[in-house]
Structure 1
Amino acid sequence: MSKKTAQRRPKPKRNELTRKTPPWGGIIFFTCIGLIAVAAIGYAAWQARPVDTAGIDGLVETENLSRNHTPAAVSYPTNPPMGGDHDSQWQNCDGRVYDQALRNENAVHSLEHGAVWITYRPGLPAGQLDQLRDTVEKTDYTMLSPVPNQDSPVTLTAWGKQLKLQDAGDQRVSDFLRAFVKGPQTPEPGAACTGGKATP
């Protein structure tokens, strides 16, 4: 074969059927799985984060609260209660404002789900009540209701945690919500705050 003939030989054509391309479907799938795993680990770490409650002056804490379901009325040692045996149906706590007292046994179930229950003594000045309403309506996993016989104008309660305040404008309202709305004290993290009891 002459040098001239070798130069004229056409280059072999690329076979489109056997040409290798990156497996984009697999790459996208495993990237999504990785992102979901990172998000899940991050959420679990956030849930388990240590909460600095030292700055919440006046915080009362209790442990080893029972969690049995009962249809009966429960005699709680605190008013409002901080936990203990409760009704099988929770009180809706999706930023819900109630204008009447709640049944304790339903509200305690909401605390078990990670809710913060803000209560006020009837007669609280209108401006303070409006402030509490605004805070609750903007914050998921909270509920607001009056408690006729409570011994402080405003009380914030989470499962095993309670703070009594003289004024709704106290900075500790925000501190308590940041620490305990779906906080590490929650016995049933991820449980719903809707689909329960919608009326007082």
Structure 2
Amino acid sequence: MSKSARKKNARKNALTQREIPWGGIAFFTVIGLVAVIAIGYTFMQTRSSSADSKSIAGLVTKDDLGRDHTNGAVKYDSDPPMGGDHNPVWQNCDGRVYDAPLQNENAVHSLEHGAVWITYRPGLAAGQVDALKSKVTGTDYTMLSPYPSQDAPIKLTAWGHQLTLEDASDPRVDEFLRGFVSGPQTPEPGAACNGAKDAP
């Protein structure tokens, strides 16, 4: 092959050869890896949270709870109730501390939205009430209120789940909050916890 033919062939190959877009490939590979890691992390957190919540000592659970709306009074089979039919208006539960008892029917609606309702028997030592307030204040999907008829100093309630405690410093308070604030038990995940009933 002559020198001029080789030059012509080299020019032709340079024009027809496609350049591999390594920059684009690297970019999308990194994006894919980040997505896989994020999904995996979220999955593991959910599994961990669910496993932790099921292993809390003393946890009581209840299934097959009604979810109908009613404007009337509902007869619940636990104090405080763990779920069931409820008022169409939920109790604001965006880290709210209430100084008076709540209407069960409004509070149960908040449980349906993923709230944890911490209740205490009136007469609980002020230091313990303050400790519970510190857990609730600033924590969305939580609320605290007195509950005169409950049979224990402190109860933590989520939809279908309840824990009875003697002391606010019990480490199970944090375990329950980690497991059930907007947890996997929530019948209506993502539903609002503010903008409704603001008073007891």
With the length of structure 1 as denominator, give the TM-score of the two structures: 0.78
- Counterpart of 2:196 in structure 1 is 196
**Deviation (angstroms), 1:52:** 2.8
Partner amino acid for 2:78?
T
- What 5-or-longer segments of structure 1 have no aligned partner? 1-21, 23-27
- What 5-or-longer segments of structure 2 have no aligned partner? 1-20, 22-26
Secondary structure of the equivalent of 1:122? Answer: coil
Which sits farther off after the overlay, 46-55 or 177-186? 46-55
- Counterpart of 1:69 in structure 2 is 69
Cα distance between partner residues in 2 of 1:195 and 1:37: 36
Cα distance between partner residues in 1 of 2:130 and 2:156: 16
- Counterpart of 1:99 in structure 2 is 99
On the 8 A contact 2:91/2:197 being kept in 1, the answer is yes
Residue correspondence of structure 1 range 135-150 to structure 2 within 5 A: 135-150=135-150
Residue correspondence of structure 1 range 7-156 to structure 2 within 5 A: 50-156=50-156
**Deviation (angstroms), 1:139:** 1.7
**Deviation (angstroms), 1:138:** 3.2
Taking structure 1 as reference, are residues 87 and 36 closer, same or farther at Cα in structure 2, changes over 3 Å only? farther
Q: Which has the higher helix share?
A: 2
Partner amino acid for 2:88?
S
CA RMSD of aligned residues (A): 3.6
On the 8 A contact 1:48/1:184 being kept in 2, the answer is no
Cα distance between partner residues in 1 of 2:89 and 2:40: 30
Partner amino acid for 2:72?
A
Taking structure 1 as reference, are residues 134 and 63 closer, same or farther at Cα in structure 2, changes over 3 Å only? same
Cα distance between partner residues in 1 of 2:134 and 2:56: 22
Cα distance between partner residues in 2 of 1:74 and 1:38: 46
Cα distance between partner residues in 2 of 1:85 and 1:37: 40
Superposed CA offset, 1:3-52 (max 9, x none): xxxxxxxxxxxxxxxxxxx9xxxxx9xx99x9899868965775576333
Identity of aligned residues (%): 60
Partner amino acid for 1:108?
V
Cα distance between partner residues in 1 of 2:38 and 2:199: 35
Superposed CA offset, 1:140-169 (max 9, x none): 110000001100000000000000101111
Cα distance between partner residues in 1 of 2:35 and 2:54: 34
Secondary structure of the equivalent of 2:53? Answer: coil
**Deviation (angstroms), 1:64:** 1.1
Structure 1 stretches of 4+ moved >6 Å:
34-42
Partner amino acid for 2:57?
D
With the length of structure 2 as denominator, give the TM-score of the two structures: 0.78
